[in-house]
Chain A
């Protein structure tokens, strides 16, 4: 099957999936013996109707709220559609008239493709940005990043697209966003304190906690985006309470904040993880002895090592690291979730995956990945052919997350005989 054939097959499947969901509550399911409203314009009445409509449209447009404007650092008014390149030396903040700030990382190339009264559409051709979007009732911002689109209402996040490695990353500090794109099986919702990472080349997607209290993974609050170039001077700040200005690239007086010294000294591969070089990080960990790493590293590091191995496509080492982490973290941390993903995505062991996801749900009553785990468990049971288990998981998912991203699948499974 060619790439084009696969594309049309995916369009067909997605259309069917959405159609089932969309029409489930529509009135098409009830027979109404009437014609829909006629929409043919009578020829005789067409001209005055069109003229009146034109007049109304002109008047209506004249009363619309004003579109947002934005400025670049030297105070010049930004031009919609013009390419903007941040210098290699430092970030370039774009300030919008509603108070939102989008700070392009050093070396990033982007353009503001469109603005209206409620937001803007920003296209990042390469590089990344830190965005702080002011929430209003009708806010609607879009950030196009490579083949991805981030739908924003009001939030603060860092986003990055590595076009060479085909890796997308998004760190969410406040609010929530919806990410969709060709490399994602379905749109993913990212909530505060989580990082979405998608490797188009490896066909892998993952949401990680970045501010977890349960295991300390990535526990350093993101004072500076993990996606920003390392050569750039860092901006001191203190997490979610930061002012917009700090993210807009106005360096404060405090010295640059670096990862904890102990991490850098004892586990050099962790530094590579922070910059998204997973394969290199794994190679470094292997050179220093993977078994030894699993034996002596703290639980949080082992979770990260498991992630690294999984991203690099090494299921065996991912499993080894996650299993080692289980004995070192209270309640296993999120190791069961990692084991579930490894079984699901890399080993095709759907029964095993479902059990690991359910283990995570049992172990982590307040875990930040419960919704994802519940959805994954449901999907894994379905793929394993365990219809009863899938249906039970679907019902439980709907009970807890009736509006979750997996709710359409859950409804379908719940209604299946």
Chain B
């Protein structure tokens, strides 16, 4: 079944169409969520939520050929909301914490997660959600800038600006992390000196 036929099927609430959507786009949505959010224990719930939102909003999708981009947008919108909520929650919790610098969150209690990955995501957590999403998709996933712009719903120039800003902020922080600093690109300011 083509995407166009699937969209029509979804709009008509045909049996099995939701399952087919899930089956076809689950890996894609998982990838986007994990890239942007990290390996958070809530990833499965977020993936689920993306599809629930997609089913609710499918009637508003006009271009049935743009299903993939559209569901990607839903995923990123969901990820953005989650990241914002998590930042807010951490800010509140930090009021009660005596630690000066929060420890990286071990997002998955599994030895398979290397400390480097955990440290990298601890630094990513500091970035504003919009910048983080653009950065993760561009730098980690290697996605095309124009594709990101389309999915996020902003101009190409805005995406470029977000990526550059996030990149600068990430490495500023990462250079202070013993596990990450060796991977940092040359510091232009230092080089100029």
Contact = CB atoms under 8 A, between A and B. Distances in A.
Contacts of A241: none
Interface stretch (A10-18, A131-139, A277-285, A339-347): A10-18
A58 interface: yes
Contacts of B74: none
Contacts of A36: 42, 45-46, 48-49, 52
Contacts of A22: 39, 43, 108, 110, 112
B117 interface: yes
A28 interface: yes
A209 B49 CA distance: 50
B114 interface: yes
B114 A61 contact: no
Contacts of B157: none
Contact of B112 (A12, A26, A186): A186
Interface stretch (B62-70, B145-153, B158-166, B179-187): B179-187
Interface in A176-219: 178, 180-182, 184, 186-187, 189
Interface residues of A, number: 51
B140 A12 contact: yes
A415 interface: no
A26 B114 contact: no
Nearest to A32: B48
A281 B171 CA distance: 41
A13 to B, nearest CB: 10
Contacts of A3: 182-183, 185
Interface string A312-323: 000000000000
A23 B30 contact: yes
Nearest to B185: A4
A22 B34 CA distance: 11
B112 A187 contact: yes
Contacts of B49: 35-36
> Counting chain A CB atoms within 10 Å of each CB, which of B44, B52, B85 scores highest?
B44
20 contacts: A2-B185, A11-B140, A12-B141, A19-B30, A21-B110, A22-B43, A23-B30, A28-B26, A29-B26, A34-B48, A35-B52, A39-B85, A50-B92, A57-B96, A61-B96, A147-B182, A178-B111, A181-B179, A187-B112, A189-B111
